[in-house]
Amino acid sequence: MNLKPAIGAGKNGEGGIRTLDRVAPIQHFQCCAFDHSATSPKALADANVAGHSRRPNMRPTHRITIHWRQGGRTISHEVAEGDYILRSFEEQGDPLPFSCRNGCCTACAVRVLSGKIDQHEAMGLSKELIAKGYGLLCVAKAIGPLEAETQDEDEVYELQFGRAFERRRFLPGIPT
Half-sphere exposure of 145 (CA within 13 A, CB side): 6
Q: 101 and 37, same structural domain?
A: no
| pLDDT (tens digit per residue) in 120-130 | 888 889 899 99
Number of domains comprising the chain: 2
CA distance linking residue 47 with residue 91, whole number of Å: 23
100 found inside a domain: yes
DSSP SS3 for 109: strand
My answer on whether 31 and 66 are in the same domain is no
Question: Which domain, by its residues, includes 40?
Answer: 11-46
Is residue 75 helix, strand or coil? strand
In this structure, are 78 and 149 located in the same domain? yes
pLDDT digits (tens, 9 = 90+) for 57-108: 589 999 999 999 999 999 999 999 999 999 999 999 999 999 989 998 889 9
Vertex 100: Cα angle to 99 and 104 (nearest 5): 120
What sign has the CA pseudo-torsion 95, 127, 164, 171? negative
SS3 state of residue 164? helix
In-domain check, residue 51: no
pTM for the whole structure: 0.61
